[in-house]
Structure 1
Amino acid sequence: MLGLSTIAKKVFGSTNDRKVKAVRPLIEKINGLEPAFAALSDDDIKARTRALQERARAGESLDDLLPEAFANCREAARRALGLRAFDTQLMGGIFLHQGNIAEMKTGEGKTLVATFPAYLNALSGKGVHIVTVNDYLARRDAEWMSKVYGALGLTTGVVVPQQPDAEKKVAYQCDVTYATNNELGFDYLRDNMRSELGQMYQRPHNFAIVDEVDSILIDEARTPLIISGPAQDRSQMYREIDLIVPGILPEHYTLDEKQRSVSFTDEGNDYIEQALSGRGLLPEGQSLYDPESVSLVHHTSQALKAHTLFAKDKDYIVRNDEVVLIDEFTGRMMTGRRLSDGLHQAIEAKEGVTIRPENVTLASVTFQNYFRLYAKLGGMTGTALTEADEFMEIYRLGVVEVPTNRPVQRQDEHDQVYRTAREKFEGVVKEIKVAHATGQPILVGTTSIEKSEALSTLLKAEGIAHNVLNARQHEQEAQIIADAGKLGAVTIATNMAGRGTDIQLGGNVELKVLEALAADPEANPDEVRARIEAEHADGKAQVLASGGLFVLATERHESRRIDNQLRGRSGRQGDPGRSSFFLSLDDDLMRIFGSERLDKVLSTLGMKEGEAIVHPWVNKSLERAQAKVEGRNFDIRKQLLKFDDVMNEQRKVIFGQRREIMEAQDLSEIVRDMRHQVIEDLVDDHMPPRSYPDQWDAEGLYAQTIAIVGVDVPVMTWAQEEGVDQEVMRERLEKASDDHMAEKEAAFGAQAIRSIEKQVLLQTIDAKWREHLVTLEHLRSVVGFRGYAQRDPLNEYKTEGFQLFERLLDGLRLDVTQKLGQIQPMTQDQQAQMIAQLRLQQAPAAEPAPIAEPAPADPAPQAVERATSSVVTGDATPRTGFVADGPRTWGTPTRNEPCPCGSGKKFKHCHGAH
């Protein structure tokens, strides 16, 4: 008997069907315009773009312009690339423009789809970002699609790491900008560490189209982007602690693979205490449970985690004296990323490579909060429906399944489950031999480098020629993928998710043509293409006859999306194909989630050696296990976002204040208000309201007034005068401070003092924000324990985070007032001497100050991700009467000279005393 929802779907269609049906009239309208646009000249197409831009500027909505814009774009793409977009591609473009995720199968042409909404939204003149998962795809797509945008009269830019500043700035000003998610996030953080508006790259965030949206907004959402600076070098401590780990026995710790966590037992704590004391790391008389031991306990736990949870050639590889992390979803090397909280250093100690210093956070943001900055967001992927709830809840993005241009002919076989890994791999090799004998191309999916190489060894023993694609061979990726659809090809690959390159049956024509022309530059391109296309047609016919691409997966992933992406490599554009998953009870997913029950079932059935169980129930059982894991990961990401939202509100305030300061020409009023607030607080502290004169601390107020405000006035005399109260004292101190600053303005000049005020404000905000981030990290790491006292950790974090932010603002006012109160004009002789010393040292002017190496990608929810970066911290060239960048620009002042910091003290009594 059919359920009510099933009957309703049959009558009314599913929600997805209704969305698809709703855009069909628009597609008919675009198709109706095709003959008129086909008749336009190349110049007319560009002229049509200019006309559409003028209409958009005049206030006409983009929805009204959509049919003409899409028709113009389709014609430009047909002429520039020889590709006429299918109706399903136009449909995908419409859904993207509407702020949805378009789920389109592999091979449906998502790269071309993005040009339609990108062109339409670029007409507003506010810029469009197209986001990809790696540099190779950003460059490839930008170069390929720039022909379309060029034909339409628009500019195209590409943003990649280590790009010259001038080049990157131009790229961001283009109509359409291709970039990786990491670089966009880091540039946002760098922009908000600049000291001048002219140094900023990004414009306000208008519209972004995210390719492989599930990979970027789901898989990578657990780890925030962090720009970091170097901390103290403690490499020797890591090595000493690593020497203790081999003596740790299984009874000394408990391991939870589901949660990816490990913790010491009581016996383990006793062992660690003895071992640390024996090596002199734990001072005599100090216990492991003392507050002073927190750091040692933390780093010992990280060393244990490095040895038990992180496996070489699966989670990371060692290359050129460096531990390089491997992305668990794509199998790619994540060069430049480092694990946080000393975990990366613990792995470096374990592997015996050079230990690089830890880092301190200078700025951070999660992808979730970065992409929510955009006024409108769209995304494309082959697999998003399984995460539709998360996309809607976090990003307000709907998921629409776009029909394929041709019906899918791929056959998805039921999983085959073996008792042991050995039996499974024997079955895999047997299956490969059978398919290979028919010439059918085979793509074998594995979950780690180790397993891909073990399988490669088995195939070599059987004499089967094959290619291996994993993090070690990533340079040959494009070539290996191009050949994977050839007759008789066998390709072993670690997670094929997000590779961004289609496997074409018979091989990739474009790559073959490029190779042939590179080998013989004198050859006629048209003749070469014609020859290769003829060879390809023959090869493709043979592959089609053999059954198309066979995807053979050797393990199920934690996420159904990754499995579906691997399956989706076969059966593109209506091609035949098949997919099959070979599993064993030794696989991680099977072992962690319910293999005991299955083992009993298999034993009851009396399965023989080498036999496999194949049944739809097994598939359903595994999908339920995967759904549980996905649900847990969603909870982790949601929790991370709730905590980050607290910081995000504060981040917006600080970044907004910085921008206002950079845009302002005159900050004297803000500085004066800060100074007056500080004076009010000082008076309240030393002359409390409703207190008697004999309770006042006039001497303390006098000392603080000199130290902080920089004015020497007879506070103690005033306090003894008849009729002087807190209000009178405050007014007199405010007037004295205003006069003091007016004298400074006369000495420095109005323009110079305005510049000084701006620099001091920016540098102080940055310093205070960095301190605040570290404090919030520490609060975050301990607030979870409040749960044991029946208090909600998130509420505790919000409350204390707000109090810390208020403290930041109070400290900001105090520091700015103190710095401006103490600066002194330098004499001409002092300026000349300092400039001469700088020239002698050949100090580079206005060089970016490096912000140390990267760090992170911890699978745990509190993990963070760092990257190498440079941040311009201000002009290092000394201005008249003001040293902008502190001690590194001072040269070597003599001991009795006035200190260049402007304190008025001799150098030997100020910075020279340190």
Structure 2
Amino acid sequence: MFQSIAKAVFGSANDRYVKSLDKIVAKINALEEQIKALSDDELKAQTQKFRDQLAAGSTLDDILPEAFATVREASVRVLGMRHFDVQMIGGIVLHRGEIAEMRTGEGKTLVATLATYLNAIEGKGVHVVTVNDYLASRDAEWMGRLHQWLGLTIGVIVPNLSEHERRDAYAADITYGTNNEFGFDYLRDNMKHERGQMVQRPFNFAIVDEVDSILIDEARTPLIISGPTEDKTDLYITIDGIVKQIDESFYDADEKTKGITWTEEGIDKIEQLLSDAELLETPNLYDVENTQVVHHLDQALRANIMYKRDIDYIVKDDKVVIIDEFTGRMMDGRRWSNGLHQAVEAKEGVKIEPENQTMASITFQNYFRMYPKLSGMTGTAATEAAEFWDIYKMNVVEIPTNLPVQRIDEEDEFYKNTQDKFKAIAKAIREKHEIGQPVLVGTVSIEKSELLSDFLDKEGVKHSILNARFHEREAHIVAQAGRLGAVTIATNMAGRGTDIQLGGNVDFRIEDELSDMPEGPERDAAIRRIEEEVAAEKAKVKEAGGLFVLATERHESRRIDNQLRGRSGRQGDPGLSRFYLCLEDDLLRIFGPDTLFARMMNSNLEDGEAIGSKWLSKAIETAQKKVEARNYDIRKQVVEYDDVMNDQRKVIYEQRAEIMDSEAVSDVVVDMRHDTVNTIVGEACPPGSYPEQWNVAGLKERVEEVLGLTPPIDDWLQEDHVEPEMLEERLVQMSDEVMNGKIAEIEPDVWQRLEKQILLERLDHHWKEHLATLDALRQVIFLRAYAQKQPINEYKQEAFALFERLLDTLREDVTSILMRSEFRFTPPPMDTLPDLPDFLTGHIEPLLGTDNSNDGDGSASRAALFGSLAGSPMAEVSPGAPGENPWAGQDISRNAPCPCGSGNKYKHCHGAVGGRPTADA
């Protein structure tokens, strides 16, 4: 009671914080007339003036008012848009490293220009992170005009760029790109063997658009770069055939986790079927020898039972394409992990691609926490404010709207079943369509979109469908959803990035209708006609009630519902929103209090009758909170486990950077050799033991195996006062002599490059193996809970021991290669760094195997990353067509098809680089 009174009198903490920013906005406004009086050249010169002030000791906060006033005036002159005062507040919030929650239609894209410009003046680089390539390219082109006019450089990161193009984009003052592209470039950079190959600069400041989608929804799944393993196509097909013989009585399915467990009868049945197919090594299914078969069996069962066609994926061009559960988009090039995608391919009878092994990975949480300053903007973040603070230490600030919201949000309507609900929806849409009110219908899957489309066809209502099947026309369909009488069905509206304007979008109409018309008076007249038609149509739509947002179901997250609702009522426009629900909806069926709902609704509702009440809406919200809390726990668990790996990742990546930056690594290699000798002697001759207790045979064997030496150990042992230290000292002396002899035969600079190359290549190889081991450990560590132990603590201990073993193995491996190898060299014909091979990139959910990412260049190449020393910049190779390159010097992308017609990429054909050192072990 007291809190509500205090809030009414003093305002909430958010209101007080926003009000405190009014003083800064007043300073900005006070400068407006002064900045307006500047000529274009004087306004452009402001950027250099600010840089001089920073060099003289001023801070970004000192120059903020004048910088923001400069951007506002430049925006008026370049874009024809003036920032509102509430947008200035949003810009200050972004600059301070906080999250600006702004309603849809309030101009978040324009707000970002303020903080972006201010922070880019320093020249350290600003990253603007978007949810898809379309938005990255659009914003870079649209807002880039403003920044370039003010003298800043712009870069954009999209798939299929060459390494050179990426490096240039990151070198720009402001770089636009998607979260996946930024994350994958970071991982790729830390797999390269020369500092000059790396494309990213040190992190400085990032603004994340749709911050809740990127840092919350997609943060359940780490980014993964992987390479191929052995092909098991026949095994997938055989097990899929076996699973299809299983009926529901043999397993228990949990829709909440998409997990499946076998019943006792199911285990007996499956053992029999697998034995008949000769797939079991031993009769007992869960013997260790059958581990691989059990894994594939579980994935095949999940693929057949839990993953539904046209909901979780579609089949297009004989390929299984995942559908993003948050945006409804197709995710070309993305694949589920741990054999799940292959199991779905076997289920659908399409070509099965090989599995992949992790080579590098990072979570979005740990990637974005590397930025010294991180901010974000979205229309819906308040419901996740606690998580933003816990994980990222980012405060959520609700920015008031420029004009009061006029949208009416009606109570939810409940029906007994899906059939009744869709009949009511079709009827409501027809009524609104007849009066000219545009309707935006939100569905949760392609299946539901097409079902509703059938109902509307029966009602005779013309409509457009926006889902993964019609992805290409997305922006154009959404842009015209506010036209008179328009009916648009959309699968998930999260992060669509296109404003729905009442009466239609002028720019898109010009693009659609006048694209072939040349510049001139006729085109100008046509543009004026379109503008007049849109203005007249907007007035009619407003009179009809504005945009009607109709949702066919509640999503698991309240934010997705709010994003859909927020499409209506932008900038003070009228609007209406209503949700239609039934007992068969996934949210109510899986997470709702089903017994209470079923009893009440089945006994009290007639067929086709609806009920609506605040109590029912509250029950739905409670179910959503339950799901959100569960998803937060999953994300928190992902972070906890990745934090363990992140500490190790930092060590490995820092060591790689030191190796690449060093002119020579001889000292490191010598220390590794001496430590290896120490370890070998220590294992055979434990401290405090007597010579007769030593494992002399094992010592000889290890010295021969690792060092390639056959020292007279038996003679040494005949001497008086033999100590392990004496053996170690003599072995070190012998190994040093052998290595010095090899080094003397090779040019010093060549030897330095070779040592660095071997050290980096073996470090990468063992890190890759370590990641695979940690993946396997994470999947079974939960079993320790049965022994009353905390799985995360057990994981930390095991991971630390594994990391120590990695370092020991690395030392021994590098020593062995250098001691036992003979080297032959040919001089490199060109001083050019090779590109990394193409990788498979994934954004994998560790528990469910869900992937929310993009293949870096869409190629899904099967080239292995780590081989022998062929990865060296000097190793002998001769790929592609022999002879000179007739296209040398031409501007041909490294990833483009070679002009010779071979079918290979240019970089693997006539654009390939040869002449590298080889090693014969």
Shorter-chain TM-score category?
Answer: over 0.9
CA contact (8 A) 1:555 1:587 kept: yes
CA contact (8 A) 1:467 1:490 kept: yes
Mapping of residues 176-325 of structure 1, within 5 Å: 176-283=174-281, 285-325=282-322
Q: 2-side partners of 1:602 and 1:12: how far apart?
A: 43
User: TM-score, normalization: structure 2?
Assistant: 0.92
Name the counterpart of 2:911: none
Name the counterpart of 1:599: 598
Note closer, same or farther for the CA distance 1:760–1:487 as it changes in structure 2 (3 Å cut). same
CA contact (8 A) 2:338 2:849 kept: no
User: How far apart are 1:304 and its partner, in Å?
Assistant: 1.1
Name the counterpart of 2:896: none
State the Cα deviation string for residues 520-567 of structure 1 (Å, max 9, x = none): 124445433322211111111111111100001010101000000000
Select 2:419's aligned residue among 417, 422, 428.
422
Select 1:461's aligned residue among 443, 458, 462.
458
Q: 1-side partners of 2:517 and 2:280: how far apart?
A: 69
CA contact (8 A) 1:195 1:873 kept: no
Mapping of residues 565-714 of structure 1, within 5 Å: 565-592=563-590, 593-604=592-603, 606-714=604-712
CA contact (8 A) 1:637 1:861 kept: no
Name the counterpart of 2:168: 170
Asked whether 1:126 is paired with 2:113, we answer no
User: How far apart are 1:849 and its partner, in Å?
Assistant: 5.3
CA contact (8 A) 2:163 2:835 kept: no
Name the counterpart of 1:54: 52
Q: 1-side partners of 2:876 and 2:454: how far apart?
A: 59
Name the counterpart of 1:896: none
Select 1:351's aligned residue among 332, 343, 348.
348
Q: 2-side partners of 1:692 and 1:307: how far apart?
A: 63
State the Cα deviation string for residues 646-690 of structure 1 (Å, max 9, x = none): 001100100110001000102111111111111111121222222
User: How far apart are 1:856 and its partner, in Å?
Assistant: 5.7
Select 2:757's aligned residue among 752, 756, 759.
759
Q: Which amino acid aligns with 2:280?
A: L
Asked whether 1:433 is paired with 2:420, we answer no
Unmatched segments (≥5 aa) in structure 1: 892-899, 905-914
Mapping of residues 7-18 of structure 1, within 5 Å: 7-18=5-16
CA contact (8 A) 1:874 1:885 kept: no
SS at 1:221's partner residue? helix
Unmatched segments (≥5 aa) in structure 2: 883-916
State the Cα deviation string for residues 98-127 of structure 1 (Å, max 9, x = none): 111100000000011111111111122110
Q: 1-side partners of 2:36 and 2:730: how far apart?
A: 79
User: How far apart are 1:378 and its partner, in Å?
Assistant: 0.4
Name the counterpart of 2:780: 782
Name the counterpart of 1:152: 150
Q: Which amino acid aligns with 2:456?
A: L
Name the counterpart of 2:890: none
Asked whether 1:488 is paired with 2:475, we answer no
Note closer, same or farther for the CA distance 1:861–1:637 as it changes in structure 2 (3 Å cut). farther
Q: 1-side partners of 2:228 and 2:852: how far apart?
A: 15
C-alpha RMSD of the superposition:
2.4
Name the counterpart of 1:338: 335
Q: 1-side partners of 2:842 and 2:484: how far apart?
A: 43
Asked whether 1:500 is paired with 2:487, we answer no
Identical aligned residues as a percent: 54
SS at 1:220's partner residue? helix
Note closer, same or farther for the CA distance 1:505–1:883 as it changes in structure 2 (3 Å cut). closer
Note closer, same or farther for the CA distance 1:885–1:406 as it changes in structure 2 (3 Å cut). farther
SS at 2:170's partner residue? helix
State the Cα deviation string for residues 403-439 of structure 1 (Å, max 9, x = none): 0000000000000000111110110011111111110
Select 1:547's aligned residue among 545, 553, 565.
545
Q: 2-side partners of 1:121 and 1:268: how far apart?
A: 61
CA contact (8 A) 1:222 1:863 kept: no
Q: Which moved more, 1:845-854 or 1:390-399?
A: 845-854
Select 2:383's aligned residue among 367, 382, 386.
386
State the Cα deviation string for residues 564-623 of structure 1 (Å, max 9, x = none): 00000000000000000011111111222123312322345x332211001111111111
SS at 1:748's partner residue? coil
Q: 1-side partners of 2:636 and 2:55: how far apart?
A: 39
User: TM-score, normalization: structure 1?
Assistant: 0.93
Asked whether 1:143 is paired with 2:141, we answer yes
Name the counterpart of 2:895: none
CA contact (8 A) 1:468 1:493 kept: yes
Q: Which amino acid aligns with 1:575?
A: D
Select 1:27's aligned residue among 25, 28, 31.
25
Q: Which amino acid aligns with 1:696?
A: W
Asked whether 1:65 is paired with 2:63, we answer yes
Q: 1-side partners of 2:334 and 2:794: how far apart?
A: 31
Q: 2-side partners of 1:250 and 1:854: how far apart?
A: 35
CA contact (8 A) 1:876 1:884 kept: no
Q: 2-side partners of 1:374 and 1:856: how far apart?
A: 20
State the Cα deviation string for residues 306-340 of structure 1 (Å, max 9, x = none): 11111100110000111001111111111111111
State the Cα deviation string for residues 260-280 of structure 1 (Å, max 9, x = none): 221111111111111111122
Note closer, same or farther for the CA distance 1:598–1:879 as it changes in structure 2 (3 Å cut). closer
State the Cα deviation string for residues 325-368 of structure 1 (Å, max 9, x = none): 11111111111111111111111111111111110000001111
User: How far apart are 1:860 and its partner, in Å?
Assistant: 3.9
Q: 1-side partners of 2:18 and 2:842: how far apart?
A: 44
Q: Which amino acid aligns with 2:25?
A: I
Select 2:85's aligned residue among 87, 91, 101.
87
Q: 1-side partners of 2:920 and 2:711: how far apart?
A: 18
Q: Which amino acid aligns with 2:691?
A: P
Name the counterpart of 1:908: none
Q: 1-side partners of 2:445 and 2:208: how far apart?
A: 27
Q: Which amino acid aligns with 1:450?
A: E
Q: 2-side partners of 1:178 and 1:902: how far apart?
A: 42
SS at 2:21's partner residue? helix
Q: Which amino acid aligns with 2:601?
A: L
CA contact (8 A) 2:648 2:803 kept: yes
Q: 2-side partners of 1:261 and 1:96: how far apart?
A: 40
Name the counterpart of 2:473: 476
CA contact (8 A) 1:825 1:902 kept: yes
Name the counterpart of 1:562: 560
Note closer, same or farther for the CA distance 1:689–1:876 as it changes in structure 2 (3 Å cut). closer
Select 2:837's aligned residue among 850, 875, 879.
850
CA contact (8 A) 1:854 1:865 kept: no
